[in-house]
C-alpha cells in the first residue's frame, strides 16, 4: 500500500468567530498529483498553511511526510516545498542570488548548492537569465524561479498555492508543462490549490472544497460519474450549488 504524504483527521481552523476550515479528513498518497479545488474563501490556503505549520490548528491533527504538524514542525518544513500565491523572491536580487540565499538557509554546502542550482536552472529553462534581477522577469519565469527555490532542498512534497494566479494563458501552459516534466523526472508529490477547473483535470485525485468543508473527493472520472455529469465544473455546481471562476480565453 502506498504511504501517505498527508494524513489529516478532523483538521480545523477558526479565526475568531469565523470557521475557515471545518474538520477536514484527508489523505494524500506519496507521488500523487492532488488537486484542492474551490473558490476564494473555500479554505484552500488555510489548509496549506496548517499542513505547512505556518498556522496552528484549532482542532484535529495531521501528519505531513510522516511528521506531526503540532509537535514536529521543523521536520515537516524540511520535507516540504511551498510556493505561495505571490512570489516571495527578492525582486532586486538575481535568480542565482535568490537560489544561493535559499541554499544557505537549507545549510547546503557550496559545491552541492552550485550543482543543484545549475541543474534546476537548466531544467526550468532559466540558465540564460540566472544573472538577471527577478524584477526583470516575465510572470512565467518568476513562477518557474519560485518553484526552483521551492524544490532546491529536494522535498518529498510540494505545495503549489494558486500558482498560475496572474499569469497569461501562454505562461500558464508553460508552467503546467514544467510541473508535468518535474513530476515525471522526480516522482514528487504535488498538492495543488486552484479555483480553475481545467487545472484540476490532470490531477490523480481532486478534493472539492466549499466554505471550509470537503464537498467531494475522488478521481476526476469518479467525481463526474458519481454526479452523472460530464465536467468537473458541473460536479462543483452539483455539490455546492454555485460555479467556479473561468480562466478566460486561451
CATH architecture for residues 4-79+155-240: 3-Layer(aba) Sandwich (3.40)
- Using CA atoms, how far residue 189 sits from 73, 162, 163, 178, 250, in Å, is 19, 16, 16, 15, 28
For the stretch 210-229, pLDDT in tens is 999 999 999 999 999 988 98
**Residue showing cell 471550509:** 212
For the stretch 128-155, pLDDT in tens is 999 999 999 999 999 999 999 999 999 9
For the stretch 74-128, pLDDT in tens is 999 999 999 998 899 999 999 999 999 999 999 999 999 999 999 999 999 999 9
Of residues 182 and 248, the one with the higher pLDDT is 182
| Overall pTM surpassing 0.75 (yes/no) | yes
Amino acid at each position: 500500500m502506498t504511504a501517505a504524504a498527508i494524513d489529516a483527521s478532523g483538521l480545523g481552523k477558526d479565526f475568531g468567530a469565523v470557521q475557515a476550515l471545518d474538520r477536514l479528513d484527508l489523505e494524500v498518497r506519496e507521488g500523487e498529483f492532488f488537486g484542492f479545488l474551490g473558490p476564494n474563501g473555500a479554505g484552500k490556503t488555510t489548509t496549506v498553511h496548517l499542513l505547512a505549520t505556518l498556522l496552528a490548528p484549532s482542532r484535529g491533527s495531521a501528519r505531513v511526510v510522516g511528521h506531526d504538524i503540532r509537535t514536529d514542525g521543523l521536520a515537516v518544513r524540511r520535507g516540504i516545498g511551498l510556493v505561495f500565491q505571490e512570489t516571495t523572491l527578492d525582486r532586486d536580487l538575481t535568480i542565482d542570488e535568490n537560489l544561493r540565499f535559499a541554499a544557505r538557509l537549507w545549510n547546503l554546502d557550496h559545491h552541492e548548492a552550485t550543482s543543484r542550482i545549475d541543474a534546476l536552472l537548466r531544467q526550468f529553462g532559466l540558465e540564460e537569465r540566472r544573472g538577471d534581477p527577478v524584477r526583470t522577469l516575465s510572470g512565467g519565469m518568476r513562477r518557474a524561479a519560485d518553484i526552483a527555490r521551492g524544490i532546491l532542498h529536494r522535498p518529498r512534497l510540494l505545495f503549489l498555492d494558486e500558482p498560475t494566479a496572474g499569469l497569461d494563458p501562454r505562461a500558464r501552459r508553460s508552467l503546467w508543462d514544467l510541473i508535468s516534466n518535474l513530476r515525471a523526472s522526480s516522482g514528487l508529490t504535488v498538492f495543488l490549490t486552484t479555483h480553475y477547473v481545467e487545472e484540476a483535470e490532470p490531477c490523480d485525485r481532486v478534493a472539492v472544497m466549499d466554505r471550509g468543508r470537503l464537498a467531494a473527493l475522488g478521481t476526476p472520472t469518479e467525481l463526474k460519474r458519481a454526479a452523472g455529469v460530464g465536467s468537473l465544473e458541473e460536479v462543483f455546481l452539483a455539490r455546492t450549488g454555485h460555479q467556479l471562476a473561468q480562466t478566460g480565453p486561451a
